[in-house]
Amino acid sequence: MAAGRRAPRTGLLELRGPGGQWLRVLLSLAEDVLGVSPADGPGPGPGEAPAAQLNGGEPGSAAPGSAVPEALANIRRTVRVVKQDVGGLGISIKGGRENKMPILISKIFKGLAADQTEALYVGDAILSVNGTDLSEATHDEAVQALKKTGKEVVLEVKYMKEISPYFKNSSTGATVSWDPSPAALQKRSSPLLPPRELREGRTVPLKMCYVSRKCLPADPEHRYLEVCSADGRVALFLRAKDEATAQSWLSAIQANVGALLPRVKEELRAQLAGAGTVAGRDIKHVGWLTEQLPSAGTRNLLAVLTEKELLLYGSLPQSRDALGKPTHSYPLIATRLVHSGPAKGSALYEAELSFALRTGSRLGVQTHLFSLESPRDLALWTRLLVDGTHGAAELVQEVSAACTWKGQDCTLSIHIDKGFTISTTEPGLSKTILLQQPFEKLQMSSDDGTKMLYLDFGGPEGEIQLDLHSCPKTIVFIIHSFLSAKVTRLGLLA
């Protein structure tokens, strides 16, 4: 075994430690782990770039905490922000009750409204917005409260000095209270390595680890690199000497992570097999996606693509039970790829490599925007999702839904080959077909977004109006998927 292993790649980088201090470390990249250990010599000297950039990140800006006047630490402040026509407040937030974190400002976009106040800081906890208390708010509740504000926004904030080194990776679930004491923080799991572990060294398992150069705070010199274990327990925030070195390490780590991907798929398939859910659940792909949350913030999600579903997790599921409880689950047959490439029309994300999905559900249409690390990743996910929707349509073949037509309780069945069938079944009697039409006769379909589905086959019966008793978007999206799969059969682009 050892004879077949390549020699580890090693190199000197800087690691951001608690308090924002940069520490020189030796990285050692093996086939399945990334090791970090102290390096001889001092860290960055006077005049070198600080740990993090504030308010958009100009070179020479101070790290969160060091640029904030000492008198402001843990003091409630009221800041008035006047929104711009483009860009809104100009902040990103992290945290929330579900993460056991306050709502924290994680980025301030340079030149936008919040930055122009010169009174807000990365690491500020938002206590209230226009009088609405956010101290117990979830992340989504905070997003909605910020979205509902008018032109003028009054924020009550408090700079959490003890939290600022920790908030960067709050999605990992580090427990932070509103008034943490240093003693309490020492007892809690932190995404940044504490000094003792820096001295002793640490390893990050590469199996399905997250690695990115799209880091917050801002990185004007493109030197930052973030590596996080698949379970979110160990995170490294690194700085290389230049952009080329950062990219070289990113590529090397990604290559080793990719080499372990077949093993990950086999382990997940074994968990599915053990749960007796093999049919329609073969693992097609696994990878990290960054979801752009509405109006503010991002979160990293592990995506597992099966033959029928897109499953999203906060971390790599390590058990059969965890695999069966994704954070989100989207049926591919009711999911549509509506965008792939730069996010046009988004002032904050137009440079991102992103794709957007829309899913028809009983609650309406759900839209999600995800970004990736490279054009290659974007092309791969785009192809897999389009092919996956067609494959799911061929696998499912037929769906049925209860409905009412002309005042009569019926069943609408849609088959990829046989088309549309409306039937009714009386107690003790066989099924009676009321209408049957192939896909080729469908001239128009629409819905009212509430419960009505409209189909027009150009026949003497005219437009067919079906009451589906719930939001019709799932059926509408499935019709599109069947049509798209049928067109693809012909060798054409759907």
Which of 72-86, 124-138, 184-198, 479-493 has the least mean pLDDT? 184-198
Distance CA 145, CA 210 (A): 31
The stretch 298-326 carries a mean pLDDT of: 91
pLDDT confidence of residue 86: 62
Model confidence band, residue 184 (pLDDT cutoffs 50, 70, 90): very low
The stretch 75-79 carries a mean pLDDT of: 86
Span 417-467, pLDDT tens digits: 999 999 998 776 788 999 999 999 999 999 998 999 999 999 888 899 999
Q: Using the predicted structure, report yes or no on whether residue 402 has a pLDDT greater than 90.
A: yes
pLDDT confidence of residue 68: 64
Distance CA 393, CA 109 (A): 43
pLDDT confidence of residue 37: 86
pLDDT confidence of residue 92: 85
Q: Using the predicted structure, report yes or no on whether residue 181 has a pLDDT greater than 50.
A: no
The stretch 375-385 carries a mean pLDDT of: 92
Q: Using the predicted structure, report yes or no on whether residue 67 has a pLDDT greater than 50.
A: yes
Distance CA 328, CA 218 (A): 29
Span 8-57, pLDDT tens digits: 788 899 998 776 778 888 999 999 999 988 875 444 333 333 333 333 33
Percentage, residues of the chain above pLDDT 90:
43
pLDDT confidence of residue 161: 65
The stretch 400-414 carries a mean pLDDT of: 95
The stretch 334-348 carries a mean pLDDT of: 70
Nearest to 302 by CA among 274, 332, 351, 268: 268
Q: Check: CB of residue 366 under 8 Å from CB of residue 471.
A: no
The CA-atom distances, in angstroms, between 328 and each of 312, 319, 366, 415, 437 are 5, 17, 12, 27, 35
SS (H, E, C) the chain: CHHHCCCCEEEEEEEECHHHCEEEEEEEECCCEEEEEECCCCCCCCCCCCCCCCCCCCCCCCCCCCCCCHHHECCEEEEEEECECCCECCEEEEEEHHHCEEEEEEEECCCCHHHHHCCCCCCEEEEEECCEECCCCCHHHHHHHHHCCCCEEEEEEEECCCCCCCHHHHHHCCCCCCCCCHHHHHHCCCCCCCHHHHHHCEEEECCCCEEECCCCCCCCCCCEEEEECCCCCCEEEEECCCHHHHHHHHHHHHHHHHHCHHHHHHHHHHHHHHCCCCCCCCEEEEEEEEEECCCCCEEEEEEEEECCEEEEECCCCCCHHHHCCCCEEEEHHHEEEEEEECCCCCCCCCCCCEEEEEEEECCEEEEEEEECCCHHHHHHHHHHHHHHHHHHHHHHCEEEEEEEECCEEEEEEEECCCEEEEEEECCCCCEEEEEEECHHHCCEEEECCCCEEEEECCCCCCEEEEECCCCCHHHHHHHHHHHHHHHHHCCCCC
Distance CA 443, CA 456 (A): 6
Model confidence band, residue 346 (pLDDT cutoffs 50, 70, 90): very low
Instruction: Name the residue with higher pLDDT: 75 or 417.
Output: 417
Which of 119-123, 184-188, 327-331 has the least mean pLDDT? 184-188
Name the token pair of 367. 């839209």
Q: What value does the mean pLDDT of the chain take?
A: 80
Percentage, residues of the chain above pLDDT 70:
77
Distance CA 476, CA 478 (A): 5
Span 124-166, pLDDT tens digits: 899 999 999 998 899 889 988 988 888 899 999 988 765 555 4
